[in-house]
Amino acid sequence: MAKTGTTTQGLRTAIERSGYYPALVAEAVEAAVGGEQISSYLVHQETTFDSNEVRRHVTVLVLTGNRFIVSHTDEQAADGSSPTPYATTSTESVKLPRISSVVVSRVVGNPESYTPGTVPREVVLTIGWGAVSRIDLEPAACGDTNCEADHGYTGSSTADDLSLRVSEAGDGPEAVRQTLAFAQALSEATAATR
């Protein structure tokens, strides 16, 4: 489920509709937003299956005039560190000029007959601001198949701070549209700060 909009009350309503510890999630998000005006938001509740457990997560993305705020809440079963189930909520606030990339990957069926405006089957929104980077390395080689010299390593570094997948089958077409709308608002906001 994804919900998007532009008002503080709308944000609170979307958090409550997600049904995922709304008081806890709303308090954390509202504290991070403070008194700033909300330009856009996205609330995405997701259920995953981990071995024999069902786990729920909620991610709330908020765009203000100056910042991008991400909040993520996970629930945990009782374990050795806690005799009762518990939830962990974290928020991060990023100044818009720090956002280095907004990547929107769209998956469409029957691309040969695609009509503009058709909702993709799936959207993956990846946002990078430099907090987390992934480095993929592999041995470097030259063109000589008989060469035994050590050519060091080659690789790439990818900003991968947040990746959010929304699908038509799992979340519904409206959730996909809302994710695209938030991605566009974020892209426009980051372009305006350059």
53-101 per-position pLDDT tens digit = 777 889 999 999 999 999 999 988 888 888 998 899 999 999 999 999 9
Q: For residue 125, tell me if it sits in a domain.
A: no
Alpha carbon distances (Å) from 3 to 6, 18, 51, 61, 154? 10, 9, 29, 10, 41
* Residue tagged 């929304």 (tokens): 166
Which phi and psi angles does 173 have, rounded to 5°?
-65, -30
Domain enclosing residue 73, as ranges: 2-98+172-180
Give the separation between CA 63 and CA 40, rounded to whole angstroms. Answer: 5
Q: For residue 86, tell me if it sits in a domain.
A: yes
- The total domain count for the chain is 1
Q: For residue 24, tell me if it sits in a domain.
A: yes
Q: For residue 139, tell me if it sits in a domain.
A: no
pTM of the full structure = 0.81
Give the separation between CA 129 and CA 152, rounded to whole angstroms. Answer: 29
